């Protein structure tokens, strides 16, 4: 595979500065079904292109991917808009697919991409729900969702944790796979990445969930909606444990 | 910068005056209830509340929903509320087609939130357009309007760092508070820290400056403190330097200081009190005042601003003012963004524009944002107006309202909503007053044929009301109410302690000292006490965590298990390990000159004996009286050197001279110190005249001048609880936040003295020989009534003791049965007296209990009159009851005394509860669960916060709702109107409280059966006979 093709893949399994393309596109698209589609399809295009290569990606690409992931993870800390936050996390997470592709048994890459994308899809749905209620999904403006919207908050917390690869979410097992196949330097990078994700998640939740709260007038998730989300999360965790977790 | 003396004094004066609105905070060892707005009491209540709200960022009234709940529960006088609303509506200009009264009542009855925000970009035309679902008005906002709004919010008395935080989200304010709190904790510590701050004797600012100059952590954080401290040597100089550097005009300094102090008003209040307490040990040794505090705060503020101000930020008042003038769009967007007011839909766009910093882009986003904000606010107001119109039944009238009239309606609603708290409060108080007036009994009680079995004098405290009622119900008991220090201001020195405790309201300073002396032989310190001391020292040691944590941890673990699982049995067992307090006597009589001289001589002799023992190692048998006498006389300068002593001690002339000098300087055997000792001894005790005066005054004040019983109980009160920093808040306020037993013992000892009785007899108070005053303690946590000094009881009385004890025990159990259900959850309540009493005992010993009792919560009334006035009325522990018989007080002196002391203390208690309830976070102290003791004098929330000054939420709230009903103290005086008025007029402080509406004053005239109430700036009189009306105060004037 030529370097040019790798650069083309770098648009979809984002490598900086090609990653800007996805991020601009995602934040400009205000139609939420399109956003969901982007989250699901975008990495799969990259993986399809990558599948045409017979050899694992070269090491310089892996370093580049890791640097991109770290850069976006760092930016994640300061991002207050949920849409942008999802885009940054997706960029950082999909960069790890390069590491997974380098593994000797690189099969199931599409599934790994899915494990990273699915929690983000749910998060995007929750973000759309926040935008409907408040006009925007932004941290630090309307805090204290836990008091006014307890069901929504509970779902949001679990989804965010799943998105940042907290065990036993499937993305955790994907992360673990990447970790096991990485060089010591990349391992350090992965550990830093994970730290940044969890830190960013804590900041995001703190800016939305806790505090005195001024959102009492907003309706909480309906119980039926909460059940649907709960079922989806349980299914996600069960699948994660069964497939990448190896319990199946 | 060096300041002239005049400039320094000016700054000191400014800080002093600026601190006046900050209330004192007393150390919590003796919790003093106080009005958080005491410094604003010169203003009318509503005005002071407004100022307090602004100054302390607090709320002065409950939210509307809480009052609506009270209304639903029948605790608000609706008739009064309607009348007040009508009066408000009548004072406003009429709006065509709008029934204003209906609108306002609809707002109070049905609306959950306010209709109009205090500030809004949306004008009446915008709201009209929103109501008509028409496009929003295109008229742009005037730039000057925005600038004015920004000036008001960012400049003025607002600290510069607060404005910087509001514009850049820097959070300097929190960081500054944290640094200042740490400095205060270091300096003001009263023994909690193992390692103290060095050089504290030099004063707060000087000690802090020395440490700060060498503080590497501050340096590493980028705070260049030295550069600021180099600018001036004194605290005043630093203040002037910082204020000049920040560009604040001098005529605004004072208001800026007030705002600075109000940010940490707990610490500021403590330092203010401490600086004024000249007798306070810690202040005498480690002085510090608010000028020091201000200098430290401003130094750190400037250092933080310098550190943050490197990135093109406006960090002085001048720079902020300039930014408002030249870049108001950016400043406005910044303020919205960092202030958390941003419209979520625009948040990302605003953030991007500010990050890029392009002026044209910012201008565009500003226009878009303002249009969006106007539309949003207009839509919100329109929605609320529609809801209100529907509730008022005037929807069609709202539809047809012109924009101009709509503007007037909105303005009226805005003003009304700003003032509605006082309307609700007034209506609640009217209901409470009506209830009291309906229940009082003005009929003269029938004359008693025989004297009662027992007369008991209780503190006026609200908790005494319940136990008095129960005691009166179980037998022939007559009770009286009097301030818990029984009118005798005492400075008490507890046995084994060297410090004095003032047992009187903080308004008074006692002159007489009463030491407690053991009447038993000295005992060796038991092993368990020594072990506890060793444990305590180990716990405080820095090295303990490294070496002995396992062993000590295990011991503490046992302690914890015992306290948690079986608190009653465990505490009883632990108490048994300690010896009982030995029987003691109070040294109450004045010493004669000879006695005082003799005591000083004895002390000097004892000191010299010790000195000789220590310095020369002589055995006691070799130290003769003659030697000591010679040494003493020489040291006092009564004679030249003594050869006998020199010979006995084996000293030459020089050696003997040196030893005598040491006796004079180090052992203080010299004439001047002897004089000081004599003066101190002169403070001990009361003369017989004084004792007669205090006893006579106490008895006359409550109307007890004849018909004395065999037992006259003097019942002080106190509380007992475990692990409770607020324990003293539950003790007797009239005794300065201490137990009231000592005061009871003092008065009993005085009143039982034959000489005092003889003199009282000459004054017309004839106390029979078989009448005996017995001190007692009412434990308000358990309701136990315990008698003291029974060994002094005449043998003739012992036969009645069982009956008395049974009566007291019955009253205790009944009182617990009445009280305990209010402390428990609905499912677990008990009405069984024994069970309730047992649970109350457990409460007092349970270290996990955050609410051992309700204390003075729900206080509402202060009744000054005879007992029969309220005897038939169960006041549920809500009334301070002070006995008073106006017929014994023709010159109103006793009434004036009651108003000056007890009433003022009652008002402080009432206001403390009021404000702690309406805003527990700002005026109260939040939840006890997160409290930590700070420096042994206060509590903080978490590990670092302002000192929490008010009452904890567990004292005033239950399940998140107010348990205490926040009302101003309803004071009722039973006396002819002119009589009461003369007394009120003679006490200026109380007169102002009444006139400024800090308490509600009612005078009930038993002769004319007329009630007088001070309201709306004048006295209104109504006949009380109309008690059949639900609220006699609302009856039309006859």
Q: For residue range A196-245, list pLDDT tens digits in order.
A: 999 999 999 998 998 876 655 678 888 998 999 999 999 988 887 777 66
Nearest to B340 among A27, A134, A140 (CB): A140
C-alpha B12/C-alpha B5 separation (Å) is 10
The model's pLDDT over B177-206, given as tens digits with 9 standing for 90+, comes to: 999 999 999 999 998 887 889 999 999 999
pLDDT of residue A182: 86
The model's pLDDT over B973-1019, given as tens digits with 9 standing for 90+, comes to: 999 999 999 999 999 999 999 999 999 999 999 989 899 999 989 99
Q: Is B345 on the interface with A (CB under 8 A)?
A: yes
Q: Is A135 on the interface with B (CB under 8 A)?
A: yes
C-alpha B702/C-alpha B709 separation (Å) is 15
Enumerate the residues of chain A whose CB falls inside 8 A of the CB of residue B346.
136
Helix A59-78 to helix A3-12 angle (10° resolution) is 20
Q: Is A12 on the interface with B (CB under 8 A)?
A: no
Q: Is A206 on the interface with B (CB under 8 A)?
A: no
Query: Other C-beta atoms within 10 Å of B879: how many?
Result: 25
How big is the CA angle at B814 (ends B809 and B818), to the nearest 5 degrees?
145
Q: Is A71 helix (H, G, I), strand (E, B) or coil?
A: helix
C-alpha distance from B34 to closest chain A C-alpha (Å): 28
C-alpha distance from B346 to closest chain A C-alpha (Å): 8
The model's pLDDT over B340-382, given as tens digits with 9 standing for 90+, comes to: 788 888 988 999 999 898 999 999 999 999 989 888 899 989 9
Query: Which residue intervals of B740-885 are DSSP H helices?
Result: 741-751, 754-762, 795-798, 801-823, 833-845
pLDDT of residue B14: 96
Rg, Å, chain A Cα set: 18
Pairing of strands B490-493, B785-787: unpaired
* Average pLDDT over every residue of B283-296: 96
Nearest to B347 among A27, A141, A143 (CB): A141
C-alpha distance from A83 to closest chain B C-alpha (Å): 10
* Average pLDDT over every residue of A130-141: 87
A135 contacts B348? CB cut-off 8 A? no
pLDDT of residue B627: 85
Among B317, B145, B159, B312, smallest CA distance to B245 is for B317
Q: Is B6 on the interface with A (CB under 8 A)?
A: no
Q: List the single residue in B with minimal CA-CA distance to A84.
A: B348
Where does the pLDDT of residue B1030 fall: very low under 50, low under 70, confident under 90, or very high at 90 and above?
low
Q: Is residue A107 predicted with pLDDT exceeding 70?
A: no
Q: Is A141 on the interface with B (CB under 8 A)?
A: yes
C-alpha B848/C-alpha B929 separation (Å) is 10
> Residue ranges of the domains in chain A?
3-242
Where does the pLDDT of residue A144 fall: very low under 50, low under 70, confident under 90, or very high at 90 and above?
confident
Mean pLDDT over each residue of chain A, to the nearest integer? 87
Of residues B448 and B64, the one with the higher pLDDT is B64
DSSP B448: P
Among positive and negative, which fits the CA dihedral B792, B797, B798, B802? negative
User: Bridge partners of B1019?
Assistant: B1014
The model's pLDDT over B209-266, given as tens digits with 9 standing for 90+, comes to: 999 999 998 888 888 899 999 999 999 999 999 999 999 999 999 999 999 999 999 9
A-B C-beta contacts closer than 8 Å: 32
Q: List the single residue in A with minimal CA-CA distance to B336.
A: A141
Share of chain A above pLDDT 90, in %: 43
A136 contacts B346? CB cut-off 8 A? yes
CB under 8 Å to B46, separation ≥6 — which residues? Answer: B419, B422, B997
C-alpha distance from B112 to closest chain A C-alpha (Å): 11
Q: What's the length of chain B?
A: 1038
Q: Is B1011 helix (H, G, I), strand (E, B) or coil?
A: strand
Q: Is residue B865 predicted with pLDDT exceeding 50?
A: yes
Enumerate the residues of chain A whose CB falls inside 8 A of the CB of residue B347.
80-81, 136, 138, 141
The model's pLDDT over B444-499, given as tens digits with 9 standing for 90+, comes to: 888 888 899 999 999 999 999 999 999 999 999 999 999 999 999 999 998 877 77
C-alpha B895/C-alpha A42 separation (Å) is 87
Q: Is B140 on the interface with A (CB under 8 A)?
A: no
B340 contacts A136? CB cut-off 8 A? no
pLDDT of residue B310: 66
Q: List the single residue in B with minimal CA-CA distance to A213.
A: B340
Query: Which residue intervals of B440-548 are DSSP H helices?
Result: 462-474, 527-540, 544-547
Q: Which of B171-185, B513-527, B553-567, B1022-1036 has the highest mean pLDDT?
A: B171-185
| Virtual torsion, Cα B729, B730, B731, B732, nearest 10 deg | 90
Enumerate the residues of chain A whose CB falls inside 8 A of the CB of residue B344.
131, 134-138, 141-142
pLDDT of residue A123: 94
Q: A192-206, B251-265, B527-541, B862-876: lowest mean pLDDT where?
A: B527-541
Nearest to B348 among A138, A140, A143 (CB): A138
A84 contacts B347? CB cut-off 8 A? no
Query: Which residue intervals of B394-461 are DSSP H helices?
Result: 395-399, 403-439
Q: B880 phi and psi, to 5 degrees?
A: -80, 125
The model's pLDDT over B26-43, given as tens digits with 9 standing for 90+, comes to: 998 878 888 999 999 999
Could you report the predicted ipTM of this complex, rounded to two decimals? 0.81
| Contact between B717 and B737 (Cβ < 8 Å) | no
For B196, B328, B602, B633, B649, the CA distances from B624, given in Å and listed in that order, are: 44, 91, 14, 14, 11
pLDDT of residue B1028: 46
C-alpha B420/C-alpha B413 separation (Å) is 10
A:27-46 residues touching chain B, CB 8 A cutoff: 27
Nearest to A135 among B340, B345, B351 (CB): B345
Q: Is B583 helix (H, G, I), strand (E, B) or coil?
A: coil
C-alpha B704/C-alpha B765 separation (Å) is 9
Half-sphere exposure of B1020 (CA within 13 A, CB side): 14
Q: List the single residue in A with minimal CA-CA distance to B921.
A: A212
**What DSSP letter does each residue of B357-411 carry, written as one string?**
--HHHHHHHHHHHHHHHHHHHHHHHHHHHHHHHHHHT-HHHHHT--HHHHHHHHH
pLDDT of residue A248: 54
C-alpha B772/C-alpha B713 separation (Å) is 8
pLDDT of residue B1027: 46
pLDDT of residue B533: 74
Q: Is A80 on the interface with B (CB under 8 A)?
A: yes
| Contact between B159 and B260 (Cβ < 8 Å) | yes
Mean pLDDT over each residue of chain B, to the nearest integer? 90
CB under 8 Å to B835, separation ≥6 — which residues? Answer: none
| Contact between B925 and B951 (Cβ < 8 Å) | yes
Nearest to B344 among A27, A84, A136 (CB): A136
Nearest to B343 among A83, A135, A140 (CB): A135
A137 contacts B344? CB cut-off 8 A? yes
C-alpha distance from B111 to closest chain A C-alpha (Å): 13
pLDDT of residue B292: 97
The model's pLDDT over B87-139, given as tens digits with 9 standing for 90+, comes to: 999 999 888 888 999 999 999 998 888 888 877 888 888 899 898 888 776 67
Q: Is A194 on the interface with B (CB under 8 A)?
A: no
Q: Is residue A44 predicted with pLDDT exceeding 50?
A: yes
The model's pLDDT over B901-935, given as tens digits with 9 standing for 90+, comes to: 999 999 999 999 999 999 999 999 999 999 999 99
pLDDT of residue B1038: 36
CB under 8 Å to B568, separation ≥6 — which residues? Answer: B841, B842, B845
Among B619, B622, B654, smallest CA distance to B646 is for B654
pTM of the model: 0.88
pLDDT of residue B1034: 54
As given in the structure block, the two tokens for residue B965 are 């009903």
Among B121, B170, B124, smallest CA distance to B143 is for B121
* For testing contact with chain B, the best of A26, A27, A81 (most B CBs within 10 A): A81
Half-sphere exposure of B50 (CA within 13 A, CB side): 11
C-alpha B1005/C-alpha B1009 separation (Å) is 5
C-alpha A248/C-alpha B851 separation (Å) is 54
Instruction: Quote the strand ranges of chain A, DSSP E.
Output: none
Q: Is B342 on the interface with A (CB under 8 A)?
A: yes
Q: Is B34 helix (H, G, I), strand (E, B) or coil?
A: coil
Query: Other C-beta atoms within 10 Å of B416: how many?
Result: 22
C-alpha B721/C-alpha B738 separation (Å) is 14
Where does the pLDDT of residue A111 fall: very low under 50, low under 70, confident under 90, or very high at 90 and above?
confident
């Amino acid at each position: 595979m030529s370097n040019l093709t790798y650069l083309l893949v770098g648009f979809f399994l984002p490598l900086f500065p090609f990653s800007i393309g996805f991020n601009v596109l995602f934040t400009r698209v205000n139609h939420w079904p399109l956003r969901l589609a982007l989250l699901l399809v975008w990495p799969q295009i990259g993986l399809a292109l990558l599948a045409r290569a017979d050899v694992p990606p070269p090491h310089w690409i892996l370093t580049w991917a890791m640097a991109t992931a770290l850069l976006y993870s760092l930016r994640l800390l300061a991002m207050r808009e949920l849409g942008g936050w999802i885009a940054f996390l997706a960029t950082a997470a999909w960069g790890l697919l390069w590491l997974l592709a380098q593994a000797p048994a690189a099969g199931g890459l599409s599934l790994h991409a899915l494990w990273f994308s699915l929690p983000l899809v749910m998060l995007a749905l929750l973000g759309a729900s926040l935008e409907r209620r408040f006009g925007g999904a932004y941290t630090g403006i309307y805090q204290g969702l836990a008091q006014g919207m307890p069901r929504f908050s509970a779902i949001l917390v679990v989804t965010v944790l799943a998105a940042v690869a907290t065990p036993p979410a499937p993305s955790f097992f994907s992360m673990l796979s990447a970790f096991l196949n990485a060089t010591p330097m990349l391992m350090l990078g992965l550990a830093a990445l994970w730290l940044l994700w969890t830190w960013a998640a804590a900041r995001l939740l703190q800016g939305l969930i806790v505090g005195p709260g001024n959102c009492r007038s907003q309706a909480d998730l309906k119980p039926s909606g909460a059940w649907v989300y709960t079922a989806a999360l349980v299914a996600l965790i069960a699948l994660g444990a069964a497939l990448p977790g190896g319990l199946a | 910068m060096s300041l002239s003396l005049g400039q320094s004094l000016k700054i000191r004066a400014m800080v002093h005056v600026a601190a006046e609105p900050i209330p004192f905070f007393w150390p919590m060892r003796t919790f003093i209830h106080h009005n958080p707005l005491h410094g604003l009491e010169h203003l009318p209540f509503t005005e002071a509340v407004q100022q307090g709200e602004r100054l302390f960022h607090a709320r002065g009234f409950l939210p509307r929903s809480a009052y609506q709940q009270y209304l639903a529960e029948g605790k608000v006088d609706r008739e009064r509320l309607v009348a007040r609303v009508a009066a408000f509506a009548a004072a406003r200009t009429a709006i065509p087609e709008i029934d204003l009264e209906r609108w306002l009542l609809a707002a109070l009855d049905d609306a959950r939130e306010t209709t109009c925000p205090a500030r809004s970009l949306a004008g009446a035309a915008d709201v009209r357009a929103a109501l008509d679902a028409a496009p929003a008005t295109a008229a742009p906002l005037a730039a000057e309007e925005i600038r004015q709004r920004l000036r008001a919010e960012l400049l003025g008395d607002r600290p510069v760092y607060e404005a910087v935080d509001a514009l850049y989200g820097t959070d300097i304010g929190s960081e500054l508070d944290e640094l200042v709190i740490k400095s205060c904790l270091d300096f003001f510590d009263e023994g909690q820290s193992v390692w103290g701050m060095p050089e504290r004797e030099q004063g707060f600012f000087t000690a802090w400056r020395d440490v700060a100059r060498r503080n590497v952590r501050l340096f590493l954080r980028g705070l260049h403190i030295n550069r600021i401290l180099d600018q001036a040597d004194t605290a005043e100089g630093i203040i002037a330097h910082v204020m000049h550097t920040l560009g604040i005009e001098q005529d605004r300094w004072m208001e800026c200081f007030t705002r600075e102090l109000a940010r940490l008003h707990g610490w500021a209040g403590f330092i203010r009190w401490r600086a004024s307490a000249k007798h306070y040990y810690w202040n005498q040794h480690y002085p510090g005042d608010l000028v020091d505090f201000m200098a430290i705060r401003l130094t750190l503020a400037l250092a933080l601003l310098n550190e943050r101000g490197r990135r093109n930020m406006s960090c002085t008042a001048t720079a902020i003012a300039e930014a408002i003038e030249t870049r108001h769009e950016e400043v406005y967007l910044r303020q919205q963004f960092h202030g958390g007011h941003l419209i979520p839909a625009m948040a990302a766009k605003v953030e991007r524009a500010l990050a890029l910093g392009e002026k044209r882009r910012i201008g565009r986003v500003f226009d878009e944002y303002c249009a969006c904000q106007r539309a949003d606010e207009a839509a919100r107001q329109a929605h609320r107006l529609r809801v209100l119109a529907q509730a008022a039944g005037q929807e069609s009238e709202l539809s047809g309202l012109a924009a101009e009239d709509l503007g007037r309606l909105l303005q009226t609603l805005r003003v009304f909503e700003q003032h509605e708290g006082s309307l609700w409060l007034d209506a609640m108080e009217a209901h409470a007053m009506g209830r009291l007036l309906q229940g009082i009994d003005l009929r003269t009680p029938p004359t008693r044929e025989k004297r009662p079995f027992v007369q008991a004098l209780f503190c006026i405290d609200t908790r005494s009301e319940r136990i008095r009622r129960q005691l009166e119900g179980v037998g022939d008991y007559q009770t009286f109410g009097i301030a818990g220090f029984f009118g005798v201001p005492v400075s008490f020195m507890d046995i084994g302690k060297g410090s004095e405790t003032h047992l009187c309201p903080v308004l008074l300073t006692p002159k007489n000292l009463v030491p407690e002396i053991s009447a038993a032989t000295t005992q060796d310190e038991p092993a368990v006490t020594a072990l506890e001391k060793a444990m305590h020292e180990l716990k405080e040691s820095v090295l303990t965590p490294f070496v002995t944590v396992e062993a000590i941890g295990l011991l503490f673990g046992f302690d914890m298990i015992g306290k948690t699982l079986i608190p009653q049995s465990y505490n009883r067992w632990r108490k048994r390990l300690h010896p009982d307090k030995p029987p003691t006597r109070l040294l109450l009589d004045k010493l004669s000159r000879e006695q005082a001289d003799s005591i000083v001589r004895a002390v000097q002799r004892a000191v010299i004996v010790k000195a000789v023992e220590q310095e020369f190692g002589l055995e006691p048998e070799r130290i003769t009286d003659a030697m000591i006498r010679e040494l003493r006389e020489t040291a006092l300068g009564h004679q030249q050197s003594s050869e006998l002593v020199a010979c006995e001690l084996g000293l030459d002339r020089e050696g003997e001279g040196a030893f005598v000098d040491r006796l004079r300087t180090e052992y203080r055997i010299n004439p001047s110190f002897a004089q000081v000792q004599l003066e101190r001894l002169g403070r001990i005790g009361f003369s017989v005249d004084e004792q007669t005066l205090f006893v006579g005054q106490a008895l006359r004040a409550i109307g007890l001048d004849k018909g004395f019983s065999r037992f006259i109980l003097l019942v002080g009160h106190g509380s007992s609880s475990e692990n409770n920093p607020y324990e003293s808040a539950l003790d007797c306020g009239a005794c300065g936040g201490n137990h009231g037993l000592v005061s009871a013992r003092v008065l009993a000892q005085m009143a039982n003295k034959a000489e005092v009785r003889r003199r009282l007899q000459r004054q017309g108070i004839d106390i029979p020989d078989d009448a005996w005053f017995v001190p007692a303690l009412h434990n308000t946590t358990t309701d136990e009534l315990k008698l003291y000094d029974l060994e002094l009881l005449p043998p003739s009385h012992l036969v009645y003791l069982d009956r008395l004890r049974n009566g007291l025990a019955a009253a205790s159990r009944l009182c617990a049965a009445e009280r305990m259900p209010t402390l428990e959850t609905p499912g677990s309540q008990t009405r069984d007296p024994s069970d309730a009493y047992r649970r109350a005992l457990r409460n007092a010993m349970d270290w996990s209990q955050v609410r051992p009792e309700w204390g003075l919560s729900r206080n509402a009334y202060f009744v000054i009159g005879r007992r029969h006035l309220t005897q038939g009325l169960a006041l549920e522990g809500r009334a301070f009851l002070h006995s008073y018989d106006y017929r014994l007080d023709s010159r109103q002196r006793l009434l004036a005394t009651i108003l000056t002391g007890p009433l003022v203390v009652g008002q402080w208690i009432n206001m403390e509860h009021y404000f702690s309830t309406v805003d527990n976070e700002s005026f109260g102290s939040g939840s006890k669960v997160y409290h930590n003791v700070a420096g042994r004098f206060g509590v903080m929330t978490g590990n670092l916060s302002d000192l929490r000054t008010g009452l904890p939420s567990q004292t005033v709230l239950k399940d998140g709702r107010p348990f205490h009903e926040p009302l101003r103290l309803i004071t009722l005086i039973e006396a002819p109107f002119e009589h009461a008025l003369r007394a009120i007029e003679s006490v200026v402080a109380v007169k102002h409280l009444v006139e400024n509406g800090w308490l509600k004053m009612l005078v009930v005239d038993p002769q004319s059966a007329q009630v007088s109430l001070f309201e709306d700036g004048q006295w209104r009189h109504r006949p009380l006979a109309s008690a059949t009306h639900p609220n006699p105060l609302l009856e039309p004037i006859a």
